[in-house]
Chains A and B, each alone.
Chain A
Amino acid sequence: DQQVKQNSPSLSVQEGRISILNCDYTNSMFDYFLWYKKYPAEGPTFLISISSIKDKNEDGRFTVFLNKSAKHLSLHIVPSQPGDSAVYFCAASDSNTGKLIFGQGTTLQVKP
């Protein structure tokens, strides 16, 4: 049972345009959501997070939107840069169980 799903395995975007990465979840008890970025041969690095009490969190070019009624979150990168090309994982945390569940990842390619 996949509680966190990233339905798009890959996304290709032109440099300077917006990248939108999507993530859906099934567990209504999730109360924190995080995005990690992973380059080849490296471990994931934290990008941005959002609490379930918010619907938007922004950090520079990165904005995460949370729609609790739809159990959906998205990561917007504006403007996209070639250095953003990586695998992006969304993750959801349930404070009651103390576990963090990751999605399968979306590979973003930003073309110059």
Chain B
Amino acid sequence: DSGVTQTPKHLITATGQRVTLRCSPRSGDLSVYWYQQSLDQGLQFLIQYYNGEERAKGNILERFSAQQFPDLHSELNLSSLELGDSALYFCASSPWPEMNTEAFFGQGTRLTVV
């Protein structure tokens, strides 16, 4: 158990809809990262928050947004969903702002868009 909790574990929704994925980082970790893993793809970095502020941005679509709340949990909002958004979405956390340190991953949310 990494200590990072992601909910829900599975999500099935229709095209055009909006969903929210939630992440609770390990106790004390200030950094939260979001990654997308599509079929046969590596982990694509989406966005990082550190202590409530956006720190780094990767290949995140404009239809996607994220935030980190004062209690440090984070939410990833995906809107106007398309079939190609079906993927595993991972959240990770670490104590530090730098991405070159060990991060602890949750079990992921599997999103299926039908």
A103–B42 CB distance below 8 A:
yes
Whether, in the assembled complex, A28 has its beta carbon less than 8 Å from a beta carbon of chain B, the answer is: no
**Could you tell me the distance between the alpha carbons of A99 and B59 in the complex, rounded to whole angstroms?**
10
Across the interface, which residues of A come within 8 angstroms of B49, CB to CB? none
Across the interface, which residues of B come within 8 angstroms of A18, CB to CB? none
Whether, in the assembled complex, B83 has its beta carbon less than 8 Å from a beta carbon of chain A, the answer is: no
Whether, in the assembled complex, B98 has its beta carbon less than 8 Å from a beta carbon of chain A, the answer is: yes
**Could you tell me the distance between the alpha carbons of A59 and B55 in the complex, rounded to whole angstroms?**
31
**Could you tell me the distance between the alpha carbons of A34 and B56 in the complex, rounded to whole angstroms?**
18
Across the interface, which residues of B come within 8 angstroms of A49, CB to CB? 100, 102
Across the interface, which residues of B come within 8 angstroms of A98, CB to CB? 48, 55-56, 97-99
**Could you tell me the distance between the alpha carbons of A41 and B10 in the complex, rounded to whole angstroms?**
11
A99–B56 CB distance below 8 A:
yes
- Given A43-B4, A45-B2, the answer on whether A97 and B56 have CB atoms closer than 8 Å is yes
* Min C-beta distance of A93 to chain B, whole Å: 4
Residues in A lying within 8 Å of B, measured CB to CB: 4, 6, 31-32, 34, 36, 41-46, 49, 89, 91, 93, 95, 97-105
CB pairs A–B below 8 angstroms (29 shown) = A4-B42, A6-B42, A43-B2, A43-B105, A43-B106, A43-B107, A44-B90, A44-B92, A44-B105, A45-B104, A45-B105, A46-B103, A49-B100, A89-B42, A89-B43, A91-B43, A93-B99, A97-B56, A98-B48, A98-B56, A98-B98, A99-B99, A100-B33, A102-B35, A102-B43, A102-B45, A103-B42, A104-B42, A105-B42
